[in-house]
Amino acid sequence: MTTKKQIQDFIVLNNKKINSDYFELELKAPVKLPEIFPAQFIEIHIENAKDTFLRRPISIHDIDYDKNTITLLIQIKGEGTKTLSKIEKDASLNIIYPLGNSFSIPDKKEKVLLVGGGCGSAPLLFLAKYLFNKNIIPYILIGGKSENDILKIENFGEYGNVFITTEDGSLGFKGIVTEHPLLKKEVEKHNISKIYTCGPEPMMKAIAKIANKNNIACEASLENMMACGIGACLCCVVETTSGNQRVCCDGPVFDVKNLKGWE
Amino acid sequence: MADLNIKIKNLELKNPVLTASGTFGYGEEFEDFIDINKLGGIIVKGTTLEPRQGNPYPRMAETASGMLNAVGLQNKGVDVFINDIYPKIKKYNTNVIVNVSGSNIKEYVKTAEKINHLDKIPAIELNISCPNVKQGGMAFGTNAKSAAEVTKAVREVYKKTLIVKLSPNVTDITEIAKAVEAEGADSVSLINTLLGMAVDVNTQRPLLSTVTGGLSGPCVKPVALRMVWQVFNAVKIPVIGLGGIMNANDAIEFILAGATAIQIGTANFIDPQISIKIIKGIEKYLSERNISSINDLIGGLKMESA
């Protein structure tokens, strides 16, 4: 998107622990938020985290333009996110935003499917809400290792028809997302015109394969490691049909047909 | 207001703050955050004769107080630079300097020759120190003889200010600095990244696709500062200092150690406005001490015991 990028101090309104692996941060912007689109992300500077030098790119989970807040759903992965998980209410966080492109929004009549794995479901809530507000009710398929990784289902339920898979069978269908009967039922019958996916790369690749096989458009939001997040360092590249492209600003969303090794 | 103007041969800078190649794109990436025209100059991404795809992902690993990169000079080649990028960035009212790299002397020469024709490019920075390419790059900068040869060949075709960027991955950096000075370099910039590596103990694999990469950030600053001081005492041409500069005090340390100008690199990734903040910080430092010109500070390290 062409929205001007900004660097500002946001205030922590709420830091909510979801379970031992995930937490949710609600951050208040110091100025009126510009329009932000699904799959766009922010870069957070985390102070005083051990051995953490660079900013952390985090996707936007939800936006409230009335409250002027951005909500993030974060998985604790390393020292940076661990420190961030302990941040207190009213603390300030330096943020660069909004970054990256966004999912393309379909015409009203289309039937679309959102497929998220683990923390990859975070930006899909924003997308589901965005689609819902445009009168598109998506199918939403969320997968995880166990029920611990299935997050905010009640919120997803407000915007679409939700289906769940867990590898250990602790919640929903037992298996991985690509094995869910929904894919057989809806994708192979061509009731769906587009798939949006975000999650672990093997999962997204498997979804892309199914989409390609059935000739359905598919967009994936990638999460390569980044240094700058604004297109300068060339660290986060992905191999595409038109050469190495930057996930931070040519992405994070790519049409899977353009990604090498995703055929 | 203190005078921040400096000169490197014929290159006039409104202040001593440049942005380092490979950390600032072509300037455009930072237009949302700062007024590019307020910088002393920008050094754009390493440019080669032919387009290069660079190294495979992963190209980056975070380290304590810094980062490793193995980008490998990904760029669209000098012709695309001249035809597509130069027309967009020549509007900047600051010095746009091109970092030039190659696999052999011929490539360096041809690239430099093409850039010599561009009116709004007052200088090049000859990159003989990139640790992330298989051929050329650092190979030229780790040997005084080959560093001299490539400098001499480029000097014959390049008529404007010629800066040579030196590698820290050498036994004695002053030998390389003296060798390129003797062949007509107008200035040396140092340091490029230090060769390093990192390992993932869970997968037992290297974190970079190339195994080794270039270390940058505050962790390299003491090494960079030491080398700037050594080179300042060994050559007559102006020295441009870089390596882990994160704030104005870091910049002033380099200037006291002998740097005429400094470059901001990795810090641009953490704070895209840092270059402007450092200019203001240097100005404040001079004003508070009633130093009328930045030139009075260069190499001003006090050596007598207190």
Task: Give A60-104 pLDDT, tens digit per residue.
Answer: 999 999 999 999 999 999 999 999 999 999 999 999 999 999 999
Residues 100-159 of B with CB under 8 A from A: none
Cβ-in-10-Å burial (0-12, 13-18, 19+) of B291 comes to middle
B23–A contact, CB cutoff 8 A? yes
Chain B CB contacts of A237 below 8 Å:
54, 57, 59, 74
For the cut 90, the answer to whether the pLDDT of residue B40 exceeds it is yes
What percent of chain B has pLDDT above 70? 99
Q: How far apart are CA A235 and CA A130, in angstroms?
A: 30
Q: Is the fold of A6-99 the same as that of A112-221?
A: no
Determine, for residues B67 and A224 on separate chains, whether the beta-carbon distance falls below 8 Å.
no
Q: What is the mean pLDDT of residues A7-24?
A: 96
Determine, for residues B74 and A234 on separate chains, whether the beta-carbon distance falls below 8 Å.
yes
Task: Give the pLDDT of residue B306.
Answer: 56
B223–A contact, CB cutoff 8 A? no
* pLDDT (tens digit per residue) in A193-228: 999 999 999 999 999 999 999 999 999 999 999 999
Interface test with A, best of B19, B60, B69 (most A CBs within 10 A): B60
Q: How far apart are CA A124 and CA B128, in angstroms?
A: 46
* pLDDT (tens digit per residue) in A231-260: 999 999 999 999 999 999 999 999 999 999
Euclidean distance between the first and the last CA atom of chain A, given in angstroms as a whole number: 27
B201–A contact, CB cutoff 8 A? no
Determine, for residues A96 and B272 on separate chains, whether the beta-carbon distance falls below 8 Å.
yes
Residues 228-257 of A with CB under 8 A from B: 228, 230-239, 243-244, 249
Where residue A196 falls (left for φ over 0; alpha for ψ -120 to 50; beta otherwise) is: beta
Tell me the β-bridge partners of A27.
Answer: A12, A70
Q: How far apart are CA A143 and CA A147, in angstroms?
A: 9
For the cut 70, the answer to whether the pLDDT of residue A262 exceeds it is yes
**Cβ within 8 Å of residue A2, ≥6 positions away:** none
CA B167 to chain centre: 10
Q: How far apart are CA A117 and CA A95, in angstroms?
A: 26
> What are the residue ranges of helices labelled H in chain A?
79-85, 122-132, 153-157, 181-182, 201-213
How many beta-carbon pairs under 8 angstroms link A with B?
87
Amino acid residing at A3: T
Task: Give the pLDDT of residue B201.
Answer: 96
CATH number of B6-296: 3.20.20.70
Interface test with B, best of A233, A238, A245, A254 (most B CBs within 10 A): A233
Task: Give the pLDDT of residue A191.
Answer: 81
Q: Which of B36, B98, B128, B130 is catalytic?
A: B130
For the cut 80, the answer to whether the pLDDT of residue B133 exceeds it is no
Closest CA to B118 of B158, B60, B58: B158
Determine, for residues A7 and B271 on separate chains, whether the beta-carbon distance falls below 8 Å.
yes
Chain A CB contacts of B275 below 8 Å:
none
Instruction: pLDDT band for B130, please (50, 70, 90 cuts).
Output: confident
* pLDDT (tens digit per residue) in B64-76: 999 999 999 999 9
3-state secondary structure A8-66: EEEEEEEEEECCCCEEEEEEECCCCCCCCCCCCEEEEECCCCCCCCCCEEEECCEEECC
Three-state DSSP class for B130? Answer: coil
Q: How far apart are CA A132 and CA A146, in angstroms?
A: 27
* CATH fold of the domain at A112-221: Rossmann fold (3.40.50)
For the cut 80, the answer to whether the pLDDT of residue B136 exceeds it is no
* pLDDT (tens digit per residue) in A23-51: 999 999 999 999 999 999 999 999 989 88
Instruction: pLDDT band for B304, please (50, 70, 90 cuts).
Output: confident
What percent of chain B has pLDDT above 90? 94
* pLDDT (tens digit per residue) in A150-172: 999 999 999 999 999 999 999 99
CATH 2.40.30.10 fits A6-99, yes or no: yes
- What residue spans define the domains of chain B? 6-296
B64–A contact, CB cutoff 8 A? yes
Residues 75-134 of A with CB under 8 A from B: 96
For the cut 80, the answer to whether the pLDDT of residue B197 exceeds it is yes
Backbone φ and ψ for A230, nearest 5 degrees, come out as: -125, 15
A4–B contact, CB cutoff 8 A? yes
- Is B219 tagged catalytic? no
Instruction: pLDDT band for B58, please (50, 70, 90 cuts).
Output: very high
Of B63, B64, B268, the CB nearest to A232: B268
Nearest CA in chain B to A51: B64
ipTM of the prediction: 0.94
Determine, for residues B62 and A228 on separate chains, whether the beta-carbon distance falls below 8 Å.
no
Determine, for residues B53 and A244 on separate chains, whether the beta-carbon distance falls below 8 Å.
yes
* CA atoms A9, A10, A12, A15: torsion sign: negative
Determine, for residues B60 and A236 on separate chains, whether the beta-carbon distance falls below 8 Å.
yes
B24–A contact, CB cutoff 8 A? yes
* pLDDT (tens digit per residue) in B147-174: 999 999 999 999 999 999 999 999 999 9
- What residue spans define the domains of chain A? 6-99, 112-221
Cβ-in-10-Å burial (0-12, 13-18, 19+) of B232 comes to buried
B63–A contact, CB cutoff 8 A? yes
Three-state DSSP class for B180? Answer: helix
Task: Give the pLDDT of residue B147.
Answer: 96
For the cut 60, the answer to whether the pLDDT of residue A183 exceeds it is yes
